[in-house]
Amino acid sequence: MLGRTWRFLSWRAALAGPRACWRESPAVRTILKDDVIVLAPDCEADAARLEAYASVRAGDVFELGRAGERGIVLRRLGPRPEACREPINISSRVANEAWRPIGNLAHTPFELDGRAYASIEGFWQGLKFPAERARARVAELHGQAAKSAANGIESPRSVRYRGSTFRYGTPDHWALMQRACEAKFTQNLAARTALLATGERPLTHVMRRDSRSIPGIVMSDIWMKLRQKLRRDDR
């Protein structure tokens, strides 16, 4: 461990921006380790400034750089989840409720090919029923009711949709999910807002048992590609 005293620019000047008048603060002791830098203020004023800064920046990530020949600077990259792009696992049980409208079970009404759906799950499970009356009934469901709507029905080898046949669990089948999700995130403001709020963080869909009809890696890829498209369209 190495302890020494350096002179730092005041926090007030640093926070004021590049046009601020710079002045030196009273000495601030630093303690350096391989993975830790500790700032220890030597006066009450700097202690208060550091405490105020830490109270709003706790958990943020900083990048260490050089400041002149002898100094160092810590540049803020942002909150750790965003700066480190920590993955978000989207499911009906996702911890942050603001992200739940992204999931397939969420009540996020949308319309596709002239039919109204209460959720993506209602659309997806409805494909297992050949009769249009049954599909219309499932289309009104969301949550666990939609998920369990086709319980007891053996997964078909193929599904029919608007006069075309799609092999179950294939890219052609997944393309229907892509279309439904695009309709949902385009038409439903809550779903769109939730998806864009995930920023650049990777999205995953890891469940205890992966889906036979559409693997989690395919589902999450659909979400991320649509997020990119929505962001591009908003420019």
On whether the CB atoms of residues 142 and 121 are closer than 8 A, the answer is yes
The pLDDT assigned to 7 comes to: 40
CA nearest 219: which of 207, 231, 233? 207
Tell me: the pLDDT tens digits for 91-107?
A: 888 888 999 999 999 99
Q: What is the mean pLDDT of the chain?
A: 88
Tell me: the pLDDT tens digits for 223-234?
A: 999 999 999 998
Percent of the chain topping pLDDT 70: 89
The pLDDT assigned to 130 comes to: 94
The pLDDT assigned to 26 comes to: 54
Residue 140 CA to its chain's centroid (Å): 27
CA nearest 218: which of 207, 208, 204? 204
pLDDT band of 150, cuts 50, 70, 90: very high
Locate the domains of the chain by residue range. 2-80, 85-234
Higher pLDDT, 13 or 205: 205
pLDDT band of 188, cuts 50, 70, 90: very high
The pLDDT assigned to 19 comes to: 41
| Phi, then psi, of 66 in degrees rounded to 5 | -90, 145
Query: SS in 3 state form for the chain?
Result: CEEEEECCECHHHHHHCCCCCCCECCCEEEEECCCCEEEEECCHHHHHHHHHHHHHHCCEEEEEEEECCCEEEEEEEEEHHHHCCCCEECCCCCCCHHHHHHCCCCCCCEEECCEEECCHHHHHHHCCCCCHHHHHHHHCCCHHHHHCCCCCCCCCCEEEECCEEEECCCHHHHHHHHHHHHHHHHHCHHHHHHHHCCCCCCEECCCCCCCCCCCHHHHHHHHHHHHHHHHHHHC
The pLDDT assigned to 42 comes to: 83
Q: Which fold has domain 85-234?
A: Tetracycline Repressor; domain 2 (1.10.357)
Between helix 171-187 and helix 216-234 the angle, nearest 10°, is 40
Strands 2-6 and 28-32: antiparallel
